[in-house]
Amino acid sequence: MKSTPTFAVIGRVNKGKSSIVSTLAEDDSVAIARSAGTTKVCQEFPIRIDGRTVMTLIDTPGFQQAPRALAWLKDREVSAANRKEVIREFLSTFEKSDDFTDECRLLKPILDGAGILYVVDGAKPFRRNYEAEMEILRWTGQPRMALINHIGEIDFSEEWQHALDQYFSVVRQFNAQKVSFEDRINLLRAFRELNDSWRESVDQSLHYLQNEWQRRQRFAAHSIAEMLVDELTYFHEIVLEPHEKIEDYQNRLEQKFHDHLRKREHKSRSDIEKIYQHLQIEKNEDELKKPIFDQDLFAESTWDFLGLSPRQLLGLGAVGGAAVGGVLDAAVGGASFLAGAITGALVGAGSVFYFSTNRFASLEYIGNYLRGNSIIRIGPHKNKNFPWILLDRALLHYFSVRDWAHSRREVLILNVEKGFVSDMGNESKMALAKLFANLSKKAGKNTQDVESDLEKIILEILQENKPH
């Protein structure tokens, strides 16, 4: 018996074996193609947590000549007691020949002690010619489980179930495109019951996987909270010579300010994708044609779907210690943020200018410098809905990445009409509103206490929303 649970994923070509390996191992580098025979040799995919291998999956070639191989085996069978030895004889006879190449490759790891995960396509009807390969697997004497993978729309699961029950101790329905963390855990638990000698190592693997899941949630909550604090307190300063006007720097300041916010959000998203092992995930980045999920942070339609409603903002205005009032219209509509110009006039030191405040930040003189120079500060963002927009986008990204199966190769698009924050409980909204109001006064100051409280609330949200 191997020191950690090892399972050979077996089945006919093009039935989703590699997809299941990719999903269970959380490895989006596994080659998946529609053409038959993508897997040519056995390839091991260890599942590691904190440097420790907790489980190994072996992607194998599919059966090619199972009926002929079974006939060879039956010719040499004496009784059920010598079947495993006949399998070994088959392997030693053909392993170095050009005959039964795929059968030898897939049988070797099983004879070396791997359990069997047999995969069939539940969208195709059962045929008797599958019985030969299932019989060969039964001859190995290894613990085995069957997965009915759903590749298409038609469902022949019931007839597959009746057939598989005769050859496998455990049969499970599975969908490699929609698998959740709980599905992986339940699969391991089922393997635990197949062989008493496996229980200790499987229990250890279960323990490490569950701890890893909790660690990822804590990491994500920290990443989102850190991003929110940074974005809500960010400002940029420049020094103007006496002869210079702020209008000369308007476009440059807008660009620098908003580029920082976009890059900061992108970093948080990238960190979360990495912690969930999505290293090659593809997303649509076309700003003009993006669906809501991938839209630019300051795209106009983003504000029509995410964040809080005008009524909700008004209800929370008093909690934050500031009236929503005149910025309410800016929170839910109006001109795009780059369309504006300075609308005020400089009255004196400390006077505030606003660039098109619809989706923007204040621009202000904060003091004089040597030789008559002036210090100009842009930011932090003043819009009352901005923190809720950021949080909504972060949650939408987190849950879609968390629940995205590693076997999926299409572009990630989240098609929703609204986000999460509008449906939050009042208690969570009130607590968040207080923290956001506090952050609005923390630019350039210590924010560790607010970030810690924010992280706790976000972690509760992540824990309450279980994978579907």
Q: Are strands 144-149 and 6-11 parallel, antiparallel or unpaired?
A: unpaired
50 pLDDT higher than 80: no
Q: Which domains does the chain have, with CATH numbers?
A: 6-194 (3.40.50.300), 215-464 (no CATH)
Predicted TM-score (pTM) above 0.85? no
Q: In this structure, what is the dihedral angle of CA atoms 154, 160, 162, 166, given to the nearest 10 degrees?
A: 180
Q: How distant, in Å, are the alpha carbons of 83, 264, 279 from that of 89?
A: 10, 61, 42
Please give the backbone phi and psi of residue 308, each rounded to the nearest 5 degrees, phi first: -100, 155
- When pLDDT is averaged across residues 278-283 and rounded to a whole number, the result is 80
Count the neighbouring beta carbons within 10 Å of the beta carbon of residue 61. Answer: 22
The confidence score (pLDDT) of residue 15 equals 67
Which pLDDT does position 358 carry in this prediction?
41
At 131 the pLDDT is 95
Q: Pick the range with the lowest mean pLDDT from 56-65, 316-325, 398-407.
A: 316-325
Average pLDDT, the chain: 78
Which position has the higher pLDDT, 466 or 425?
425
Could you tell me the pLDDT band of residue 245, with boundaries at 50, 70 and 90? confident
Judge whether residue 329 has pLDDT over 70.
no
Round the CA-based radius of gyration of the chain to a whole number and report it.
30
The more confident residue out of 14 and 45 is 45
Share of the chain above pLDDT 70, in %: 78
The reported pLDDT for the residue numbered 342 is: 25
Higher pLDDT, 159 or 203: 159
Instruction: Report, as an integer, the average pLDDT of 311-323.
Output: 59
Structure confidence at residue 343 (pLDDT) = 25
Question: CA-CA distance, 367 to 346, in Å (whole number)?
Answer: 13
**For 4-13, how does the pLDDT look when each residue is reduced to its tens digit (9 = 90+)?**
788 899 988 7
pLDDT score at 339: 26
